[in-house]
Structure 1
Amino acid sequence: MQRITIAIDDDLAAQLDGFIQESGAANRSEAIRDLVRRGLSARPDGPARASCFGVVSCAIDQSVRNLAARVPQGRLERHDQTVAALSVPLDHTTSVDVTVMRGQVGDIAAYAQALFLERGVMHGALSLIPVAQDESRHVHNHGSPHAHTHLRVKSGF
């Protein structure tokens, strides 16, 4: 771990201390690491071929012609990347949709951008979680050793 020194004004330091109280962070270093990690992972600009999970969320006006059919169809066309999807009605015409996807940054960001440009889609957001895939050999329940892959969440791209 590297040690860095930063200077911030008194008002910003007070806001940071308030964030520490609200979040339960142990100290300023932990809080700043958390905020930096969130800020960097919120940017959909990781390397295009990097592996990640993406959480795509938006509000959808279901009354816009064919939009209620096009959004699920878009997920079906990416069935190999779509992990889970949730649609929650907010009022008589609007739902919030959340889709969890797995793949490469470029593919997931392209899907999200195309969705956000649709007429009737509002408040779109994409969060990326960088992952790596590790292979190891181990035993489950006293069986024989076998190759096994695990995903590991990384702190950045």
Structure 2
Amino acid sequence: MGVIRFGVSVPEELLEKFDRIIEEKGYVNRSEAIRDMMRDFIVRHEWEQGDAEVAGTITLLYNPDEVDVVKELLDLQHEYIDEVVSSLHVHMDEHNCLEVVIVKGKASRIKEIADRLLSLKGVKHGKLVMTGTGKEPV
């Protein structure tokens, strides 16, 4: 795969802010930072299309004392057995548990799983983080 050079026109102030941020994050140069942003843009677009094969994590913070939340979390993971790859359960304290569910499948199906898990009564906070599967070059 070859490399293509192209020019981009941006306001000076925007470029100065960009340079400060990429330096803070440890990028060696602008090109690598822009490549990472382009990859992220492509992965997000594929996720939004719904048919793309994606992987991700669903992170949930919940109160295990809430009636039926633990049973419902497990039942939903079993319902989506083809998409749920693994999960990690951590006891944060006596009233808070953290669950990380690793998922892989069609983007629309993964979003459906996340919506169902995140909306359970007793879930205090959560987030779906998506990425590609690595099969497609980005």
- TM-score, normalised by the number of residues in structure 2: 0.79
Pairwise CA RMSD? 2.5
Range with greater deviation from structure 2 (43-52 or 19-28): 43-52
Work out whether 1:124 is the aligned partner of 2:126. yes
Q: How many residues align?
A: 135
Trace 1:15-54 onto structure 2 (pairs within 5 A). Answer: 15-38=17-40, 41=43, 45-54=47-56
Per-residue CA deviation, residues 58-117 of structure 1 (Å, 9 max, x unaligned), is 211212111012112211122221111011122211112111111101111001011111
Structure 1 portions without partners, runs of 5+: 132-150
Name which structure has the greater RCO, CA cutoff 8 Å, separation 6+: 2
Structure 1 or 2: larger helix share? Answer: 2
Q: Decide whether the 8 Å contact of 1:44 with 1:128 is kept in 2.
A: no
* Runs (5+) with no aligned partner, structure 2: none
What residue identity is the alignment partner of 1:34? D
Deviations along 1:108-138, whole A, 9 cap, x unmatched?
Answer: 100101111112213321122223xxxxxxx
Q: Structure 1: which 4+ aligned runs deviate by more than 6 Å?
A: none
From the superposition, tell whether residues 113 and 127 of structure 1 become closer, same or farther in structure 2 (CA, over 3 Å): same
- Structure number with the higher strand fraction is 1
Identity of aligned residues (%): 24
Task: Say which of 88, 109, 115 aligns to 1:86.
Answer: 88
CA distance in 1, matches of 2:115, 2:54: 16
